[in-house]
Amino acid sequence: MHISLEKQVALVTGASSGLGYASAKALAAAGAAVVVNYRSQAEPAEALVNEIREAGGQAVAIEADVSQEDAVDAMFAEAIDTFGALDILVANSGLQKDAAIADMTLDDWRTVLDVNLTGQFLCARAALRQFARQGPRPWVSRANGKIIHMSSVHQLIPWAGHVNYAASKGGVDLLMRSIAQEVGEQRIRVNGIAPGAIRTAINEQATQGEAARDLLRLIPYGRIGDPQDVANAVVWLASDLSDYVHGTTLFIDGGMSLYPEFRDNG
């Protein structure tokens, strides 16, 4: 089955590495013009833009800290100036600042909530405002806009030593579902993706050597994920093939959320 996102414009936050990078690349390969958002890593963002252009696609890199209202609004304005419309938002930017609860600073808490949750609110709001301004674009999609929130298995699975991260992702779940409930009638589709252990910079230590063996015990399907596993789902959720999928979270986790510790316990 061939998925085409020709004539659509996608904005991917946190696209200079990891899941955002793979998602931006996959959306471009499916024909979308792509805004590659980054905060500090200009080099890989620009390299991805060049790669997309060399392959005949359209892309632009835009720097913005998604936790800052003005920066987000300026990024969306520039994106729309560049490509004339917006069809797909992948609200992906996210980070971890891990610490035992007793040692977690207010700064660790706030930074994670600001980027992972407030950032998704600000970007979703900016996208929804643009979807309303531009109206339906039936020649590109049945939906009047699509938003994909990058969550985590930790919207469901509590995570000791990472309470800021787990709280932010629990928040993303209800943010996504509440927005979906609110804007469904406008024919705007809103969904989430909850990745499990995917090999990226965010979990480099946990996915290598001895630690990787421990991690595999938590993954019934028996392998650590690749960014492409998530990017494939992003492309599908952005396309009309998923036109009746709304307000749901797709877990891409090799079964991590199946409570594998119970295989021979309990």
Catalytic residues: 165
How many beta carbons lie within 10 A of that of residue 222, not counting itself?
9
Q: How far is the CB of 234 from ligand BGC (least distance, A)?
A: 15
By the 8 A CB rule, do 26 and 235 touch?
yes
Q: In whole angstroms, give the CA distance from residue 141 to residue 5.
A: 8
Q: Which amino acid would we find at residue 162?
A: H
Residue 259: its H or E element: none
Q: In whole angstroms, give the CA distance from residue 246 to residue 243.
A: 8
Looking at beta carbons only, is 49 or 176 nearer to ligand BGC? 176
Q: How far is the CB of 143 from ligand BGC (least distance, A)?
A: 27
Looking at beta carbons only, is 130 or 152 nearer to ligand BGC? 152
Angle between helices 106-113 and 163-183 (to 10 degrees): 30
Q: How far is the CB of 169 from ligand BGC (least distance, A)?
A: 7
Q: How far is the CB of 164 from ligand BGC (least distance, A)?
A: 12
Q: What is the DSSP string of 44-92?
A: HHHHHHHHHHHTT--EEEEE--TT-HHHHHHHHHHHHHHHS---EEEE-
Q: How far is the CB of 203 from ligand BGC (least distance, A)?
A: 3
Looking at beta carbons only, is 32 or 153 nearer to ligand BGC? 153
* Residue whose pair of structure tokens reads 């409930």 in the numeric block: 181
DSSP letter assigned to residue 177 = H
Looking at beta carbons only, is 106 or 160 nearer to ligand BGC? 160
Binding site for ligand BGC (CB under 6 A): 96, 152-154, 196-197, 202-203, 206
Q: Closest CB to ligand BGC belongs to which residue?
A: 152
Looking at beta carbons only, is 29 or 202 nearer to ligand BGC? 202
Q: In whole angstroms, give the CA distance from residue 126 to residue 121.
A: 9
